Structures are given as C-alpha cells and as structure tokens.
Structure 1
Amino acid sequence: MWQTKRLGKPIVLLALTWALAAEAGCTAKPALTAEPSGTEPIPSGSMSGAPGGAGDTVAIVGETRITRQQLLNALLGSYGEQTLRMMMLRLAVQKEAQSAGISITEASLDRELRKASEGYQSLEDFYDARRQQLGMTPDDVREDLLYKLQLEALAIRGVEVTDAEVDQYMSDHPEEFAPKEELKLSHIVVERQKDAAHLVDLLAQGEDFAELAAANSQDADTAADGGSLGWVETDDPFVAPELLAAAAKLEIGEAAGPIRTDAGYEVVLVEGRRGSGEQDGQANREAAKREYALSVSPPLSEVEQTLLDKYDAKVLDGALQY
C-alpha cells in the first residue's frame, strides 16, 4: 500500500505559485526576503499594473491589498521545506529510473489506478475525492502513481523471490489475490433514450451489434472496434456502474438497454463471462511477487534518502533546510 505522506492542497498551490512566479520573472528578490508582516493600503492605480509581478495584487480586503510576494512568502514559510524535498525526490527517482532502464507502462499505471480507486463507486468519485482532499487533478494523480511505481521498482531491484515464497504470500493474503469475475462487454452510446431503444429493437430483429456500434456509437474510442470494452471486472471503476449492474444480469450473447449513464444512453452486450478458474493467474503471481519483494526490501523512505545522497542533493537556501 502506498504510504508516502501527501502534503496537502497548499503544496499543489505552492508549486503552481512557483511556476507562475518564475514565468513572470519574479527572481530579482529572494523568495524568503522579509516583508512587512502587515498589509498595505491600495495605492491609486495599483490594480492596473502588469500582471504576474512580485508586487501585483492578488486579493483585497476592504482597502487593504495582499500582494503576490506576500502570498509566496507565506506559502514558502509554511510549506517550502516539504515541497522542495518532494521536488528533489521526484528528480532523483526519475534520474535513477532512467539510468536503470526502468520504464512504467500505461497499462501498469492503469492497474495501479484501479487498485488505488477500490472502494469508490467510480473512477470519477476517486478523482473528485483527491481534488477535494488534496487539490490534485487527474494528471497529478497519475504522476503521483508513476513516482510510486518507479520508486518501488528501484527498491526491489536485485531482490530474489522464489516460487515458494510467492505461493506462501498469496496463501497469506487471499483477500488481495482472490480472483474476480470478469465480463467481456461491448456497448453503444447514444444521446437520446429513444435512439437506444430503437437499437435494442434492431438487435432483436437480428442486426449485428458491431455494425450498429460502428455506425451509431458516440464513444469514439470503441465504435471502430464494434463497441468492444474487452474483458472487465464486475467492479471495474473505469466502466459505468449502471452498465456493469445491467450486464451482470445477462447471459452470454444477450443485450440490454437503454441504460442511463453519465455518457448518455447505452446498450450493452455480454460476449463472455469467466470466473475464478479462468483468470490470468500469472498476473496475480507477478503482483504477489512484487508485494513480497517490497515487504523484504528496505523501507521506501530509506530508498528515497539513498537516492538523494547518490545524486548529491543539497538545499542551497538555508531557510529551506529540512
């Protein structure tokens, strides 16, 4: 389980503020130069200056202004050390991963995202929780998971794991590696309910689902492939829960609709169903092997510090020492 401490919404804001300040050329004055602790009255015309400067006003309260530099100083004073360390760690891990030839695939990221979002009703609910709790965008979430996977891959390189150890680990963690039912699905997405109902009628008359999907579906990613969603688990957060609930009640070869989802109105076809004995056991074994290797490797915090030491990472601003 990912245990790295998240630094919270202010950290995301601080990183953004740094970027804005750098783009605006706010480098003439050190970020931690002392400013008067109070605020200043708004001089005539102060709101009309060039945006992005260290002295431009970012907020007003009555006749008092808060400048960009004051905001930067407050954020740096509260979160600067933690944010700087996080940035340094990400650079060190990225450099080491590149040096070691470690590449994280999109498929691996997707699997990790599915795992991270377990317990949420949908992937959008998971993203929304991260946005509200931590100020993270979906891209931020994927970057966070990429860092996690790179760091873990670095931590376990060189760790030898036997088949017997994998077997024992899977036996000790049945809830984690118990196989789930999967459905092979295709769908058609349209805007109006009556259009979906018409498609169901056409299917009942013997029309081909793939041809109808190619001609009518608004899901550009699947329409060209006959609407195919491939094999999905019955609780897959990437698929609308309403669609999965409807598909779970169908037999192989049956279609149903209209089904109201966030995408519009859908028609779903169940093309296959497989249970515990037919799942990809090798994928489970690889996951168990990684988890066991992590359990016997040094703590990730030690790996992070080792990488900072290896790349001679130094904080040059004394006020940002951690």
Structure 2
Amino acid sequence: MSKKLLLGIIVVLLITNIASLLFWNKEEKVVINDEDSAKIDSAEPVASIGSEKVSYQQWMEELRSEYGEKQLKSMIDHEVVNQLAEENNIEVDEKVIDREISFLYTMQGIMTEEEAEKEEAKWREDIIYRYQLQDLLTKDMSILEEELQTYYEGYGDQYDFTESVQISHILVDDFETADKVVAELEQGASFDLLAKEYSIDDETKASGGYLGSIYTSSQFLPSSYEEVALKMDNHSYSEPFQADNGVAILYLHRKLPSITFDYEEIKPYMESELAMQEMNQSLSADPLWEQLEIDWVYGN
C-alpha cells in the first residue's frame, strides 16, 4: 500500500473520530456533522481568537500529529486480525456475540431504537475482533481436558446471561390518574416527562421513572412488574395495573432473554482464555504483524 493512500486513510479516520465524515465539493465546503449537515469552508479559518486565527490546515495537521499513528495502527490491527482469522477459519459463535451484547446493554442507560442499533453494530465488531484476536494469539496452545472440566465446574456459569428487563415506570395513586397519564402518552407526550410530573415514586421520578436493567429473578423486581414486562414489546408502554404501592404504568426499553451454554459450546472460549492466562499475554495484535507483509508511514 502506498504512503499517499495510507495518509489519506489517516485523514478520513481522524475526521470520523470527531463525529464527522468528510465530503469535498467543488466549492471546498466540508460536511463536519452528518446529523445536522453543518458545513465549513476549508479555505476559511475554523476558529478565531481575537486577532489570531486557526486555519483548517492547522487543525488537520494537529489531528494527524496527535492521533494519526494510534488510529492508523488500530485500523491495521483490525485488518491483520480479519485476514488471519479468515485464513485460519476462526469464527465467533452468534450465541457468544449475543451474550456479550446483552451484558453491554445492561451497562448502558436509556437509548432510542436508532441509538441502540448504531451501538450494537459497533459492539458486534469489537466483540468479533476481540475473540478472533484471542484465538489467534493462543491457537498453538493447548489446555488439558481435566483443567478445562475443573474450570467449567467452578466458573462455567459466568458465561451465562440471566434474563433481564430494562424498564421505567410511572407510579400513581389511582386508576383515574393513571388513565389520564395514558391519554397523554397516546397524544405523544414523553414518558420521562410524565414520570417527573405524575409519579409518586420519589426515588425515580427525577430520572423520568427509570429503574435500570434488572434481572427478572431479582428480588428488586416486583412480581407484578415482571409479569407485565415479559408480555411487552421493546420501546412500548403498558396499560395501568395494580402494583404493591399504587397503580403503575411500565415502559419497556429492552427485554434481554436468558442465554446459557453447555460445556462443549463454551469449551473453545474457555480454552483460549486459560491459554492467555498461562502465556501472560496481553490482548494485543502486535505479535501477529510479522505474519503479514505490512508497510505503513510510521515504520516497519
């Protein structure tokens, strides 16, 4: 790959990292934000501080010098892993990917459907990269069957995911108030704003009634909430129902089903993890570079 092409890749990636995609037109206008189509003129200063100005070229050069090597290396790492994984027929089981994505969802706050779709695509790419990299680093290592069996008996359940619901609620005193809330929801009112206005749950009303991601087996999830939530679709609200402390309306952000693995399903992943521990190997693609011919602007 030529140095000019690699430098071009650097520029594209750097602009992407500041939430932008760069598109040139004949008037030298640059789209710097896809969401609102904000534009700048690359021939004009990007900032002015008193009499001092910062040119577009200065800005780009600073980005290249500050982040260029790190970001280009990351791009090469991913391509190295992709090529070697393909050569060695290394694939990641969809069930493992789903488990990882489910765990990530439980650590996130509220996301719209569109936001969740974008995040999940990123997560998926990162998960596949991580597992393929781990497998490539340990492919010449083997772990005794007895050691794997012992590890599974002690820690196998850590690979499972327990069914969870990510929910918000509005808790009111009676069905009359609840029906009023539902009427406003049907007219397009925001669930979180209505929670702040109507909910009698002081612990959650300030956060729009958000209860978080809760395992359905948790003692902190009332049985009435579990029963209602498991019948709902993602990104929908329930009809009012009688709860322990009043009348509740639920909003289901996301329902995450349980995922479990038997020994044979999870064995390859346990083996690579244990091999990484025995090798005292960090999860870095650096050792794999020598397996491919790589030429880049920062050296060999």
1:96 aligns with 2:89: no
Q: Which amino acid aligns with 1:309?
A: E
Aligned match of 2:68 in 74, 80, 97? 80
| 3-state DSSP of counterpart to 1:148 | helix
Q: Distance in 1 between matches of 2:158 and 2:28?
A: 62
Aligned match of 1:145 in 101, 108, 127? 127
Structure 1 unaligned spans of 5+: 1-10, 26-47, 199-238, 269-273
Q: Is the 8 A contact 1:104 1:146 kept in 2?
A: yes
Q: Which residue of 2 aligns with 1:125?
A: 109
Taking structure 1 as the reference length, the TM-score comes to: 0.49
Aligned match of 2:29 in 35, 50, 53? 50
Q: Which amino acid aligns with 1:163?
A: E
Q: Which residue of 1 aligns with 2:295?
A: 314
Q: 1:75 and 1:63, CA in 2 relative to 1: closer, same or farther beyond 3 A? A: same
Q: 1:257 and 1:110, CA in 2 relative to 1: closer, same or farther beyond 3 A? A: closer
Q: Which amino acid aligns with 1:311?
A: L
The alignment covers a number of residue pairs equal to 221
**CA deviation profile, 1:222-243 (whole Å, cap 9, x unmatched):** xxxxxxxxxxxxxxxxx94286
Q: Distance in 2 between matches of 1:18 and 1:186?
A: 33
1:169 aligns with 2:151: yes
Worse-matched range after superposition: 83-92 or 14-23: 14-23
Q: Which residue of 1 aligns with 2:227?
A: 255
Q: Is the 8 A contact 1:90 1:147 kept in 2?
A: yes
Structure 2 unaligned spans of 5+: 1-10, 32-40, 180-211, 239-249, 253-257
Q: Percent identity?
A: 17
Compute the displacement of 1:280 (Å): 4.5
Q: Distance in 1 between matches of 2:16 and 2:137?
A: 30
1:59 aligns with 2:47: yes
Q: Is the 8 A contact 1:152 1:294 kept in 2?
A: yes
Q: 1:257 and 1:284, CA in 2 relative to 1: closer, same or farther beyond 3 A? A: closer
Q: Distance in 2 between matches of 1:298 and 1:242?
A: 34
**CA deviation profile, 1:246-292 (whole Å, cap 9, x unmatched):** 795549xx935799997433499xxxxx9xxxx74425655433321
| 3-state DSSP of counterpart to 2:29 | coil
| 3-state DSSP of counterpart to 2:108 | helix
Compute the displacement of 1:91 (Å): 1.0
1:241 aligns with 2:214: yes
Q: Which amino acid aligns with 2:73?
A: R
Q: Distance in 2 between matches of 1:290 and 1:138?
A: 24
1:156 aligns with 2:148: no
Compute the displacement of 1:49 (Å): 5.6
Q: Distance in 2 between matches of 1:88 and 1:314?
A: 10
Q: Which amino acid aligns with 2:87?
A: S
Cα RMSD (Å) of the superposition? 5.3
Q: Distance in 1 between matches of 2:152 and 2:273?
A: 10
Q: Is the 8 A contact 2:78 2:129 kept in 1?
A: yes
Q: Which residue of 1 aligns with 2:207?
A: none
Q: 1:176 and 1:79, CA in 2 relative to 1: closer, same or farther beyond 3 A? A: farther
Q: Distance in 2 between matches of 1:176 and 1:63?
A: 64
Q: Is the 8 A contact 1:155 1:300 kept in 2?
A: no
Aligned match of 2:270 in 268, 271, 288? 288
Q: Which amino acid aligns with 1:50?
A: K
Q: Which residue of 1 aligns with 2:193?
A: none
Q: Which amino acid aligns with 1:296?
A: E
Q: Distance in 2 between matches of 1:137 and 1:58?
A: 30
Compute the displacement of 1:98 (Å): 1.3
1:113 aligns with 2:92: no
Q: Which amino acid aligns with 2:237?
A: G
Taking structure 2 as the reference length, the TM-score comes to: 0.52
Q: 1:105 and 1:180, CA in 2 relative to 1: closer, same or farther beyond 3 A? A: closer
Q: Which amino acid aligns with 1:14?
A: L
Q: Is the 8 A contact 2:14 2:64 kept in 1?
A: yes
Compute the displacement of 1:76 (Å): 1.3
Q: Is the 8 A contact 1:59 1:66 kept in 2?
A: yes
Compute the displacement of 1:87 (Å): 1.2
Q: Which residue of 2 aligns with 1:24?
A: 24
